[in-house]
C-alpha cells in the first residue's frame, strides 16, 4: 500500500516545487519580481518635459500604472481617481505616472479633457509594458507597480478595479512607508 503512494507523493512534491519556483505570470506576461529593482525606462511624455525616466524620481516613491487606452470608460475613471487623490500622493512624496501605448498627442488631449496634472507616458511600441508583464498584443494591461525611492518594486496590483484602485494604492503606500 505504501509503495503505491510513493510515486503519487513524489509527483505532487515535484509539481508543487515547479509551480512555486516559476516566475509569476499574469494576464500580460511575466511580472517583475517584488523586492527587486524595477525595470528601467525612458519614455516620451505629454507634459512638455520631453522624455521621463524612472531614474528621474530617485528619492521619491513612484506609482507606475499601466492602462489600455485614453478616453475609454475604465481608464478615464481610473485617471480621474488618481487626479482626485493627487494631493495625497504628493503628501506621501509619490509621483504618479500613467503608461499606455497611446501617443503623446492622445495623452495631451486626454489630460486636457480630464484636467490631469500628472504625466502620461507613451509606450507606443509596448517595450516598457512588456518589461513589466503588462502587455497584451497591442495594448497595455491594467497593472500598477509601487516603486520605492531606491527604485525597487515593493507592491503590484493586477486585478485592478478602476473605481477603487487609487484608494487601494494609497493604503498600500501608507503600509509600506510606515513599515
Give the residue numbers marked as catalytic.
75
Query: What is the enclosing helix (H) or strand (E) of 113?
Result: helix 104-114
> Among 101, 94, 99, which residue's Cα sits nearest to residue 126?
101
Decide: helix, strand or coil at residue 106: helix
Q: Which residue has the cell 502620461?
A: 120
Cell of 74: 475604465
Find out whether 178 and 92 touch, Cβ atoms under 8 Å: no
In our burial notation (b when 16+ CB lie closer than 10 A, e otherwise), range 16-55 reads eeeeeeeeeeeebbebbeeeeebbebebbbbbeeeebebe
Q: Please state, in angstroms and rounded to a whole number, the distance separating the CA atoms of residues 69 and 107.
A: 9
Work out the widest C-alpha separation in the chain, in whole angstroms: 73
Amino acid at each position: 500500500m505504501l509503495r503505491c503512494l510513493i510515486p503519487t507523493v513524489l509527483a505532487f512534491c515535484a509539481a508543487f516545487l515547479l509551480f512555486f519556483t516559476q516566475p509569476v505570470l499574469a494576464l500580460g506576461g511575466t511580472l517583475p519580481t517584488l523586492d527587486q529593482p524595477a525595470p528601467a525606462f525612458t519614455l516620451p511624455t505629454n507634459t512638455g518635459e520631453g522624455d521621463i525616466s524612472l531614474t528621474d524620481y530617485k528619492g521619491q516613491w513612484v506609482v507606475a500604472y499601466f492602462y489600455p487606452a485614453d478616453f475609454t470608460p475604465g481608464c478615464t475613471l481610473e485617471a480621474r481617481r488618481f487626479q482626485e487623490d493627487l494631493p495625497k500622493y504628493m503628501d506621501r512624496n509619490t509621483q504618479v505616472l500613467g503608461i499606455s501605448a497611446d501617443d503623446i498627442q492622445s495623452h495631451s488631449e486626454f489630460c486636457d479633457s480630464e484636467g490631469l496634472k500628472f504625466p502620461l507616458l507613451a509606450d507606443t511600441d509596448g517595450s516598457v509594458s512588456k518589461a513589466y508583464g503588462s502587455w497584451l498584443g497591442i495594448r497595455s494591461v491594467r497593472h500598477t507597480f509601487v516603486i520605492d525611492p531606491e527604485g525597487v518594486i515593493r507592491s503590484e496590483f493586477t486585478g485592478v478595479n478602476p473605481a477603487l484602485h487609487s484608494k487601494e494604492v494609497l493604503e498600500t503606500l501608507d503600509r509600506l512607508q510606515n513599515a
